[in-house]
């Protein structure tokens, strides 16, 4: 466990935001998403203040695909940061709670006509163009509406990083962005510059997710500023904005480094320092810096509570603990074998002597939450907690097998409240014809 003030072992019981998981499960039932509001607020503060003190002009835009609901937009707005959205639904959700639309950066490799119309009508601050088709479509929509939209272009700097590794290649096969190395990026830049209803403010890149290696961020900054320098010297283009995306790695399980909220400042310091150095060294204009952390703001804030059901011991082979949730609330193991730490929420001080795989209740063999966990002996009815589920869990949930998506409860200072209400069976058939 990566313990902190708001996630503690108190006499063998797991307590989050001052509330015991046991009392949360009694009050709200399981499966249940629990979100530590203080953690999110601390992360926003650390990122916002570090960017300001280490770099200056810039904006943290919370990548809301990690966890999107009305309450999270209210919280990040109160914390004074912007948001990145990737769909009309996310824009609509943010707008419905009065989120300042000029602080939204709209991404996506295939934004639909309806989504672009919505973004323009809402007054979204920046739209990140990701194809020639989109550039032309957006320009003609702006012409019809008689407006000029500020845009960035997504480029692919040839640095790709995931988890603990990164590769530097001239990789040109990504569905996202325009490759710098093969000349595609320059071509779209020249095209967008020729469109009179788009104002090109700068470039965007996002090199991956769950990245620990600082070298990959340094390399991305070097590549992007090399390109800014080239564009200035050879094409006379100077940009005011640089958006370097997100991707900061968090703690999920053994092998991931454990960080406190303050430690996360290191990512921002590193990028700021590298960028300031590049700006001076390469003689380019100091850009307004946008960073888009998603996972790191909400990931460790969340945990999911389940109740153990069937415990199946396949002699000399494997033990399964089946829970009342599964891939419908957390599809990340099924998608890409994501690792999680699982604890027995009321038995934290008992010896861990039972090796088991936590299985979901869906009709899929691949419906697993975590493999080979070490827990104290598990009995039916035990409260099981899966940690670091704040990012890409609720936002990836589905009604597969017509299971109900669990509610989300926020905890802070010993109090709890719903952020997302529970679904019921009527909700499932609401749109059925
Ligand atoms: C997903 C995404 C992010 C956030 O990535 P995290 O790993 O959650 O920090 C930021 N920017 C863009 C464009 C993304 O697609």
Assign 426 a pLDDT band (cuts: 50, 70, 90): very high
Quick: pLDDT tens for 331-371.
999 999 999 999 999 999 999 999 999 999 999 999 999 99
Residue 170, pLDDT above cutoff 60 = no
**70-117 confidence digits (pLDDT tens):** 999 999 999 999 999 999 999 999 999 999 999 999 999 999 999 999
Pull the structure tokens for residue 400.
């597969």
Q: How far is the CA of 294 from the centre of ligand 1 (A)?
A: 6
Task: Kindly state the greatest CA–CA separation across the chain.
Answer: 71
Specify the pLDDT at position 175.
83
User: What average pLDDT does range 303-309 have in this prediction?
Assistant: 98
Query: What average pLDDT does range 62-66 have in this prediction?
Result: 98
Q: In 347-385, which positions are buried (b, 16+ CB within 10 angstroms) versus exposed (e)?
A: bbeeeeebebbbbbbbeeeebbbbbebebbebeeebbbb
- How open is the CA angle 148-292-335, to the nearest 5 degrees? 115
Beta-carbon contacts of residue 160 (< 8 Å; ≥ 6 apart): 166, 167, 168, 169, 171, 174, 207, 208
Q: Ligand 1 center to residue 208 CA distance, Å?
A: 7
At 173, is the pLDDT very low, low, confident or very high (cuts 50, 70, 90)? confident
Closest atom of ligand 1 to CA, residue 66: 8
Locate the ligand 1 atom nearest the alpha carbon of residue 248 and give its number.
9
Alpha carbons 1 and 352: distance in angstroms, whole number = 14
pLDDT, tens digit (0-9, with 9 covering 90-100), for 227-262: 999 999 999 999 999 999 999 999 999 999 999 999
**Tens of pLDDT, residues 368-390:** 999 999 999 999 999 999 999 99
Run of H or E residues at 151:
strand 149-156
292, 332, 336, 391, best to mutate for ligand 1 pocket (most atoms within 8 Å of CB): 292
Ligand 1 centroid – CA 61 distance (Å):
10
Q: What is the band of 160 on the pLDDT scale with cuts at 50, 70, 90?
A: confident
Tell me which residue has its CA closest to atom 1 in ligand 1: 63
Query: Is the peptide bond prior to 31 cis by the omega test (within 30 degrees of 0)?
Result: yes
Q: Which two tokens stand for residue 137?
A: 């479509």
Q: What is the 3-state secondary structure (H, E, C) of 220-265?
A: HHHHHHHHHHHHHHHHCCCCCEEECCCCECCCCCCCCCCCCCHHHH
Catalytic residue among 122, 356, 363, 373: 363
pLDDT tens column, 137-154: 999 999 999 999 999 999
User: Which atom of ligand 1 is nearest to 86's Cα?
Assistant: 15
Q: Is 385 helix (H, G, I), strand (E, B) or coil?
A: strand
Nearest atom in ligand 1 to 392's CA:
8
Q: Please indicate, yes or no, whether the overall pTM of this predicted structure exceeds 0.85.
A: yes
pLDDT at position 169 is: 54
Distance CA 256, CA 160 (A): 19
For residue 328, pLDDT over 60 is answered with yes
pLDDT at 168 > cutoff 90: no
Q: Token match 């209210």: residue?
A: 74
The pLDDT value recorded for residue 163 is 67
CA 66 to ligand 1 center in whole angstroms? 8
The string of pLDDT tens digits covering residues 385-398 is: 999 999 999 999 99
* 126-137 pLDDT per residue, tens: 999 999 999 999
Q: Distance (Å, rounded) from C-alpha 296 to C-alpha 60?
A: 12
What's the gap in Å between 273 CA and the centre of ligand 1?
21
Question: Percent of the chain, pLDDT > 90?
Answer: 94
Q: How many A from CA of 315 to the centre of ligand 1?
A: 43
Cα–ligand 1 centroid distance for 290 (angstroms):
12
Which of 285, 294, 193 lies closest to 241, judged by CA? 285
Q: What is the pLDDT of residues 67-78, one digit of tens each?
A: 999 999 999 999
User: Residues lining ligand 1, CB < 6 A?
Assistant: 63, 65-66, 84, 107, 206, 209, 245-248, 292-296
Residue with CA closest to ligand 1 atom 7: 247
The Cα 130–Cα 223 span in angstroms is 19
Which residue from 164, 245, 293, 390 has its CB within 8 A of the most atoms of ligand 1, so it is best to mutate? 245
| Active site annotation includes 363 | yes
With b meaning 16 or more CB within 10 Å and e meaning fewer, what string describes 57-92?
ebbbbbbbbbbbbebbbebbbebebbbbbbbbebbe
SS3 of the chain: helix, strand, coil, percent, to 5 = 35, 30, 40
**For residue 209, which atom of ligand 1 is closest to its CA?**
7
Given a contact cutoff of 8 angstroms between Cβ atoms, the answer to whether 120 and 96 are in contact is: no
pLDDT of residue 172: 66
Choice from 246, 338, 394 to test ligand 1 binding pocket (greatest atom count within 8 A of CB): 246
Q: Considering only CA atoms, which residue is closest to atom 12 of ligand 1? A: 245
Structure tokens at 174: 């990504």
> Which of 43, 59, 61, 65 for a ligand 1 pocket mutation test, highest count of atoms within 8 Å of Cβ?
65
Q: H or E stretch including 356?
A: strand 354-359
């Amino acid at each position: 466990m990566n313990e902190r003030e708001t996630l503690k072992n108190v006499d063998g019981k797991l307590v989050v935001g001052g509330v015991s998981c046991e009392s949360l499960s009694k009050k709200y039932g399981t499966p249940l998403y629990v979100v530590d509001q203080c953690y999110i607020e601390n992360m926003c503060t650390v990122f916002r203040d570090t960017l300001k003190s280490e770099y200056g002009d810039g904006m943290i835009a919370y990548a809301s695909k990690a966890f999107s609901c009305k309450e999270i937009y209210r919280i990040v707005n109160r914390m004074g940061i912007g948001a990145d959205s990737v769909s009309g639904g996310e824009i609509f959700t943010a707008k419905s709670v009065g989120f300042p639309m000029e602080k939204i950066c709209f991404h996506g490799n295939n934004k639909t006509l309806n989504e672009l119309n919505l973004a323009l009508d809402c007054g979204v601050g920046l739209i990140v163009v990701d194809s020639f088709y989109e550039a032309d479509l957006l320009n003609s929509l702006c012409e019809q509406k008689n407006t000029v939209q500020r845009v960035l272009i997504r480029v692919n700097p040839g640095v790709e990083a995931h988890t603990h590794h990164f590769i530097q290649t001239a990789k040109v096969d990504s569905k996202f962005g325009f490759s710098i190395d093969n000349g595609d990026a320059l071509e779209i830049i020249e095209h967008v510059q020729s469109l009179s209803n788009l104002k090109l403010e700068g470039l965007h890149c996002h090199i991956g997710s769950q990245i620990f290696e600082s070298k990959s961020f340094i390399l991305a900054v070097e590549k992007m500023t090399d390109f800014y320098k080239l564009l200035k010297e050879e094409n006379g283009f100077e940009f005011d904005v640089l958006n370097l995306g997100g991707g900061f790695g968090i703690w999920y399980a053994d092998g991931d480094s454990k960080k406190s909220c303050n430690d996360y400042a290191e990512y921002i310091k590193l990028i700021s320092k590298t960028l300031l150095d590049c700006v001076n060294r390469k003689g380019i204009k100091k850009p307004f810096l946008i960073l888009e952390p998603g996972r790191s703001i909400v990931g460790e804030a969340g945990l999911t509570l389940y109740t153990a059901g069937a415990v199946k011991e396949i002699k000399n082979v494997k033990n399964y603990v089946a829970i009342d949730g599964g891939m419908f609330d957390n599809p990340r193991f099924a998608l890409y074998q994501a690792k999680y730490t699982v604890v027995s929420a009321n038995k934290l001080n008992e010896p861990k002597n039972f090796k088991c795989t936590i299985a979901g209740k869906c009709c899929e063999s691949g419906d697993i939450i975590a493999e080979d966990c070490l827990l104290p002996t598990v009995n039916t009815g035990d409260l099981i907690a899966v940690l670091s589920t704040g990012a890409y869990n609720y936002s990836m949930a589905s009604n597969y097998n017509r299971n109900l998506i669990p509610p989300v409860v926020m905890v802070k200072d010993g109090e709890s409240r719903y952020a997302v209400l529970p679904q019921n069976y009527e909700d499932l058939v609401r749109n059925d014809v």
